[in-house]
Amino acid sequence: MAKASATVQGDLLCYQHNGQDSRLTVGSPAWFEWLQTASPFTFACGQGTFTARAERAGNRRGGWYWKAYRAQGGKLHRAYLGRPEDLTLERLIAVAQALATACLSATGEVGHSEQVSRSSHRMSPQEPVLSTKLSIPPARSDSVPRPRLIHRLNGMMQRKLTLVSAPAGFGKTTLLSVWCTVAARSDQRIGWVSLDASDNDPTRFWSYVIAALAMASSGLEENILMLLRSPQPPPIESILVTLINALTSIPYAIALILDDYHLIEMPAIHNALIFLLDHLPPHLHVVVASRVDPPLPVARLRTQGHLAELRITDLRFTPAAAAAFLNGAAALDLAADDIEALEAKTEGWIAGLHLAALALQERSDRAGFVAMFTGRHRYVLDYLVDEVLQRQSEPLQTFLLQTSILDRLTAPLCDVVIGSTESEAVLEQLERANLFLVPLDEERSWYRYHHLFAEVLHSRLQQIHPSRVAELHARAAGWYERHGLVADAVHHALAAADFAYAMHLIEQAAETLLKQSEITTLLTWLRALPADLLRTQPRLSLFHAWALTSSNQLDAAEVSLQDTERALRKAVSQPLTASGSEALERGTDSQHLLGEIVATRASIASLRGDVPRTIECASLALEGLPHENVLMRGMTALNLGRAYLWSGDLEAAEHVLAEAVTINQRAGNMTATLTSRYSQGHLSVMQGRLRQAAEIYRTLLDDTAKLGSVFPIASLVVNLGIKLLKSY
C-alpha cells in the first residue's frame, strides 16, 4: 500500500504542494479537486483513524473509488468510502467509526456501552416481523422453464440494480422465485422482501430489508435493527452507512430482491434506497420488481452502466413458451392455430393465458372459445375470471369471494372469516387446481391469491354481496388481534368502518409504534379515522400530538394537544357510573395525561428554541408524569437539562442532566442517553472542567463506535471536543 504523506485532522487536509506545506478544508471545492490526484491520505478524528487510497474496479471499466484501511491486532480491516464526490467530512467520520467498531469487535474490548445495549432490550415488545414477507415464494409446479431469462438474470448480478418492470400478470414474482431456486444451487445468497402497502413507513420498510439481509448474510449485528427501531433513531442515512460497511466485509455475493415495489409511495424511502444504491457495497446487488418504473435515478444508472432491465417484451410468453404452457403444463392439446390465436389476443400476457387454460379445461368447443373473446388485458381478465368462477362449485365460489378480502390466507383465519371448518382442505384443492393461489412458505401454511385474481374477486364480492364486506373484515380483525398481529387487525377494522374497534386497537399499539419510530404508520392509521371522532378521544389525540411532534409538524401538534385538553375536560365532567374507585382511577389517569400534554409542549418548545417555555413546561411535566413512564420522563429531563444549559443555569443543568442519563438508560432510549451525556460534556466545558469534559467525550465516542451506528451526536463531539481529546 502506498504510504500516505497527506493527513486530515478534523476538517483540515495538510499536504505538500511544490515543496510547500499546504492546507485546505475538507468538503470545499479545492478538496474535491485535490482528490482527483488520487493521492493516499490518513484521516484522524475522535472516532478513530484510517489510511485512504484510491482504487479502480478490476475490469477497469468503472471509475475510481476510495477505500479505507486500518490495521489492528495483526488484521487489516477495510471499508468502502465511495467515489471522490462522496468524500465529505461526515462520510470520513462515519467510516472511521465503523472501522473502530470492527477493530473493537475483533479484539473483544467492552466498556460502558454494554450497559446501554442491555438496557435497550428492556423496551416493550415490538410488532413481530412476518417471516412470510422474508420467504422466497416456492416456484410453481406448472412454471414454464425460461432458461434465456435465467441466464440474463445471472449476468445482471454484475450491475448495481436490476429492474424487473411490467404490469401485473407478466410473471415477475414467478421468474424471480425460479431464479432464486437456480441461484441457490451455486451458493448465491438471497434476501427477499415481499412488500405491501403497510411498508410505506421508513422504519418498517428498512426493518424488513435489514432482516432479509441478516438472513442472507448471517453476519449483520442486531445493533443495526435495534437502533433503527429505537424511540429516537439516528437518521436513516447514518444507519445505512453502518449497514453498508458491515456488508462490505462480507466475502460472498448477496442479491436483495424487493418484490412489488410499486406499492411503496413514500419519498423518504425512495431517497434512502437511492443513497444505498449510490454507495452499494461491491458484493450486494439489488433487484426491484414493480408494475411501474420506480422513482429511482433509472436514466443515470443506465447511462453509468449500473442498471440491468427486464420489461414486458422480455417477460411476455413467446409462441413457443405459450405452447409449452398450454399443451405441456396445462395439458390442453390445442391446435397450433388456437395457440397462436391465444398468444396474439393476450399479447403473451401470462395471467391471461393461465386463465384461458382454466376456462378451456372443460370445454369441448375450444376453437370456438378462443374465437369468442378479444380486447385489452382488463377486458380479457374480467371475462376469463367470470368463466373460471362459473365452473366452480357454489361453496368454492363463496370461499373465493369471501376470502378475497385477505392479503394473506391461512386455514384457521379463513375458517373464522367464512364460518367454516374446511378451509385447509379447500386451500389444498385450490393449489392442486392452480387457481391462482401462491404459497408463501415451504410448509404451505400461508398463501395469497395472485394480485390480479384477488382484485377481480374483491370487485365481484362488492357487486354481489356488498353488505357482507364489513362483517368479513370485522371477523378478520378479531382473528388478527387474538394472534397478536395488531397492524393487520387495524387494517381490517378500518376496512370494516368499525371505528370504535379500530380506536381500541390503535390505542393498544400506539406507544409501541412510537417507541420503535414507526411514526408514519401511526399517523396513517389516525388519519383514517373520522377527524371529529378522533378529537373526542383524549388518549388518541395525545398520541396524535406526540407523533406529529416527532415528525416536526409542530403547529399541527399544538392543535392536537388542544383537542386532547378539550376531550379530557369533557371526559372528566361525565357523571360517574360506579364507586369511588372509578373516580380515583379517572383522576389519576387525568393527572398522567396532563403530565404528558405538558411534556409534549416542552418538546415542541425545545424544537422551536424557546428556552423559557421549555423550562416552564418540562418542570411542570416532571411533577405530573408517573415515575414508571420512563420514556417520556427521560426525554423531558433531557429537554429541561439542555434548556438550563442554554440559559446559563449550570447548577440546575448538572442535576437534571445526571437524572436524564439515568432515566433514558432505563428507558432503553440510546439516542437520548448519548445526547444527555454529550450535554454533560458541554456543561463541563462551560464549568471549566476540561479534563472531565475530555473523559466524557472519550467515553462517549467509544460507546457510539461500539454500538455500530453513526449518531448525529458524534460529529458534534468531534467538532467541539477534538481539542480536549488531544490535550487530555
The pLDDT tens digits of the residues spanning 174-216 come to: 899 989 888 877 777 899 999 998 899 999 999 999 989 988 8
Cα dihedral: 181, 184, 188, 194 (round 10): 40
Task: Give the three-state DSSP class for 530.
Answer: coil
Give tens-digit pLDDT for 10-63.
678 888 777 777 888 888 888 888 888 767 888 876 556 888 888 765 444 446
Same domain, 109 and 188: no
pLDDT given at position 567: 87
In this structure, the answer to whether residues 309 and 323 fall within a common structural domain is no
Structure-model confidence comparison of residues 517 and 607, the more confident one: 607
Say yes or no: 258 and 366 in one domain.
Answer: no
In a shared domain, residues 682 and 601: yes
The answer to whether the pTM exceeds 0.85 is no
Residue 89, pLDDT score = 80
**What pLDDT sits at residue 583?**
42
Do 515 and 602 lie in a common domain? Answer: no
Same domain, 72 and 139: no
Check residue 142 and give its pLDDT.
67
445 is a domain residue: no
Look at residue 417 and tell me whether its pLDDT is greater than 90.
Answer: yes
pLDDT at residue 310, rounded to an integer? 92
89 and 25 both lie in a single domain: yes
> What's the rounded mean pLDDT across residues 233-240?
83
CATH of the domain at 163: 3.40.50.300
pLDDT of 117 above 50:
no
Q: Do 508 and 558 share a structural domain?
A: yes
The set of long-range contacts for 292-298, using a CB threshold of 8 Å and a minimum separation of 24, is 292/165, 292/262, 293/163, 293/165, 294/163, 294/261, 294/262, 294/264, 294/270, 295/267, 295/270, 296/161, 296/270, 298/163
Residue 728: inside a domain: no
Q: Where is the domain boundary, 329, 356, 390?
A: 390
**Contact present, 79 and 65 (Cβ < 8 Å):** no
Q: Give the lowest-confidence range in 109-113, 187-191, 446-450, 590-594.
A: 109-113
- Three cell numbers, residue 22: 499546504
Both 350 and 271 in one domain: the answer is: no
Query: DSSP H helical segments within 161-266, as ranges?
Result: 172-184, 202-217, 222-228, 236-248
Percentage of the chain beyond pLDDT 70 is 82
Angle between helices 451-464 and 394-402 in degrees, nearest 10: 100
Domain end: 366, 390, 414, which one?
390
Distance, in Å, from the CA atom of 494 to the CA atom of 475, rounded to the nearest integer, reads 12
> Residue 52: what pLDDT?
86
Q: Residue 720 domain-assigned?
A: no
User: What domain range includes position 479?
Assistant: 466-563
- Report pLDDT for 580: 42
d(CA 255, CA 289): 13
Last residue of a domain, one of 529, 563, 597: 563
Do 113 and 140 share a structural domain? no
The residue ranking higher by pLDDT, 371 or 275, is: 275
- Residues 373 and 287 grouped into a single domain: no
pLDDT band at 581 (very low <50, low <70, confident <90, very high): very low
pLDDT at residue 282, as a whole number: 85
For the chain, the C-alpha Rg in angstroms (whole number) is: 30
What per-residue confidence (pLDDT) applies to 5?
Answer: 66
Cα–Cα distance measured from residue 292 to residue 290, given in angstroms and rounded to the nearest whole number = 5
Closest CA to 634 of 605, 610, 599: 599
pLDDT at 257: 96
What total number of domains does the chain contain?
Answer: 5
Residue closest to 698 by CA, chosen among 675, 721, 680 = 721
Q: Is residue 238 part of a domain?
A: yes
Q: Residues 270-274: what's their mean pLDDT?
A: 94
Give yes or no: residues 340 and 202 share one domain: no
